Chain A
Amino acid sequence: MIVDHPDTAAWVAERFGWQTADPELGPQVPADQLVALATALRDELDFAYVVYCVAVHYPAEDEIQPKFKEGEEPPPVIPAKPDRCLVTYRVRRLGPGTTTFGFHLWVPTGETCPSLVDVWAGMDWQEREQYDLVGVVFDGHPDLRRIMMSEDWPGHPLRRDYAIDTRHHPWR
C-alpha cells in the first residue's frame, strides 16, 4: 500500500517513534531497525531511488571540562566520545514534487552496520565505497571489498586520523 505522506519525518515518528533533530540528517535509527525502516520506506512510502550512503568519521575525543570563572556553577562536563562513524543515508521519491528523506545511525568503531543491499540495489557500491574509504564494515553485504583503493591498500584514507600516523604523507 503506497502512501504519499507529505511529511516523511512525521510518518516515521508516528510509525517508529524516532524524532528528527536535523532535517538534513533525519531521524537516528537503531542498528537493528535499519532494515525495517528501509523496507518500510521503499514499500510503503515509495522511496525507490538511492541518493547516497555516506560515512563520516569522528575521532575519539576526551572529556572536556568547559572553563568557568571562580564562584560560578561549574557547567556540565562534555562527556568523552569514542571513535565512531556517522553513517547517513538518503533516498528519494522521484517524479513531480520529488522529495528526499535521510536517516542516520552512529556506528562505533569495531561494530558493524547492517547492509541495505537487499532493499536497494544501489546501496551495494555506496557501502563498498564507504567501507573502503572510511572503514565502516557493513554486515550482510555480499561482496565487501575495496572499490577505489587497490585491494591491498592499508588503512582507510578518509578517516580523520589518516595521513598522520601512516607512512603516506599528506600532499603538502
Chain B
Amino acid sequence: MAVTPSPTPEPATQRVGGLELPVELLRPAWGDPYLDLDDYDAESDVMALNLGPQHPSTHGVLRVKLFMDGEVCVRAVPYLGYLHRGVEKLCEKLSYANVTPIVDKNDYVSPMMNELAINMTFEKLMGCEPPPRAQVIRTIVAELQRVASHLLWVGTFCLDIGGAIGGGASAFMHTFRERELILEIFEELTGCRFHYNHHTVGGQRHDIPAGWDTLVKQTLDHIERRTFEYEDMLTENPVFKARTIGVGVVDPKLAMACGVSGPVLRASGGDHDLRRDAPYAAYDRVDVDVQVRTEGDIYARYLLRLAELRESIRIVRCLIDDIPEGPICALKAVKLPGAVKPKPGFAYTAIESPRGELGTFVVAGPGKRGKGGPNPYRCKIRPPSYHVLSLLPYIAPGENLSDIIAILGSLDPIMGEADR
C-alpha cells in the first residue's frame, strides 16, 4: 500500500540573529530613509515641519524634521546633538574613579545603570571582581532603578497621549508619586535623590544602612498595589487602546539591524535579555522571567514595561533578604584619583538598562613606567537610546503626526544618553 508522505509543514519560525522569530512578524523589507526629498521644494505639496528641539513632548532636546503631506509624514530626519556635552572627551581627562559622576548624567532617568556599566568595564580592565555583597547590592539597586524608570515612562507616555493639561497629567502625577518613594530609598542608601555616584571601581561606595531592607520591602508592596491602579486606568481604557493598538509596529529584523534591544525588541518578538543570557552582577542567582510579546505595537511595549516593572519588584524581593556579609568594595583607597591604573588594553561590557543594551567600551592607555595611565584613553558609551532613535527614519513615514509623537514616546529615548 503506497503511503503518501505528509507534506513538510512550513516553518513557523525563522532564525534571525540568533533568535527564533515567528515568520509572520518578519516583513519583507523596510523603506529606504535616504530616498528622494533631497531638496525640499517650498512650492510642493510637502510641508517641512520641525518637531523642534523645544517641544513639549520630545523627551529632551531632539529635533526631528518631518516632511508632511497634510497630516501624514513622508520622511523623518532626526537631528541629534542638542544635549551633546562631550562626556566622552571629559572622561579622557578624568581619573577612573572620578568618571562615575559624569557618566551618571548620561541616562539621567536611570543613573545607577550608567554607573554600573562603566564601572564594570573598569573592573574588567583592572581584572578585579567586586565582592559578593557588592554584586547583590548592585543587582538590587539596578532593579529598583528599572522600576523607577518604567514608572517615569508610563507617566510621560500618558502626557504624550493625553495632554499635559488633561488626563495624561493625572496619570503622570500618580506614577511620579510612586517614583518619589524609590528616590527616597536611594536617598537613604546614598544620600542623593538623583545622580548618586554610588558605584565605584571594585564595588560600591555606600553600605546599606540599618532598616533599609524593611523600607524597600514596604515600598515595593505599596508600588505593586499601585501598578494595579495604573492597569485599571490605562490597560482597558478605550481611548488608550485606540491610540496605541496597531500603531508603530517595529519589525524585529529592523530592530536588530539598528542595534535596538530592550523593550522595543522584546515587544516585537525578540527574546533577548542580557540579564538572562549574559548575566552580570548577581543575576545568575535569580531566575529572570523575560517578558516577550509579538505584536510590536505601542500597546505591546506598554504592557511589556508594566510586566517588567512587576518582574523587577519580584527580583528585588528575592534578593533583599539574603545579602551576603562582607566588604562592599574590592579596592581600598579608590577615593584618591590615580589609585586605579589598569594595564593598557581594551574592554567592553554591557548591561540591560531599561532601554536596552547599555555598554561601555574603554581603551586603557599607557602611562609611566610600563603601568597604565590614570585616565582612560578613550571611553565610548554605547547608549540604547541612540540606536532606538535611528529607527525613526524607518518607521515614521506613513504615520500621522499624533502617531509619531506616540511612537517617539513609546520608544523611550533619553536624549542625555543619545547625545552624551
Residues of A within 8 A of B (CB): 2, 22, 24-25, 46-52, 54, 56-57, 88, 90, 92-98, 100, 102, 120-122, 124-126, 129, 133, 142-143, 146-150, 157-158, 160, 162-163, 170-172
B386 within 8 A of A: yes
How far is B18's CA from A2's CA once the two chains are assembled, in angstroms? 10
How far is B378's CA from A136's CA once the two chains are assembled, in angstroms? 15
For the complex formed, measure the closest distance between the CB of B112 and the CB atoms of chain A, giving whole angstroms: 22
How far is B19's CA from A57's CA once the two chains are assembled, in angstroms? 35
Query: From A149, which residue of chain B is reached at the shortest CB distance?
Result: B81
| Cβ-neighbour of A148 out of B84, B90, B377 (below 8 A) | B84
Chain B residues near A148 (CB-CB < 8 A): 80-81, 84, 419
How far is B19's CA from A148's CA once the two chains are assembled, in angstroms? 33
Residues of B within 8 A of A (CB): 15-20, 34, 79-81, 84, 86, 88-90, 92-93, 253-254, 256-261, 270-272, 274, 276-278, 345-348, 350, 357, 359, 361, 363, 377-378, 380, 382, 386-387, 389-390, 394, 419
Q: A95-B19, A96-B276, A97-B277 are in contact. Are A147 and B93 (CB under 8 A)?
A: no
From DSSP, what is the main secondary structure of chain B's interface residues? mixed
For the complex formed, measure the closest distance between the CB of B82 and the CB atoms of chain A, giving whole angstroms: 9
Cross-chain pairs A/B with CB under 8 angstroms, 18 sampled: A25-B346, A48-B16, A48-B256, A50-B257, A50-B387, A52-B380, A90-B361, A93-B17, A94-B261, A95-B19, A95-B272, A95-B277, A98-B274, A98-B277, A143-B34, A147-B81, A148-B80, A149-B81
How far is B18's CA from A93's CA once the two chains are assembled, in angstroms? 5
Chain A residues near B390 (CB-CB < 8 A): 121-122, 124-125
**CB atoms of A49 and B261 under 8 A apart:** yes
**CB atoms of B15 and A24 under 8 A apart:** no
For the complex formed, measure the closest distance between the CB of A86 and the CB atoms of chain B, giving whole angstroms: 8
How far is B82's CA from A150's CA once the two chains are assembled, in angstroms? 9
How far is B278's CA from A56's CA once the two chains are assembled, in angstroms? 27
For the complex formed, measure the closest distance between the CB of A45 and the CB atoms of chain B, giving whole angstroms: 9
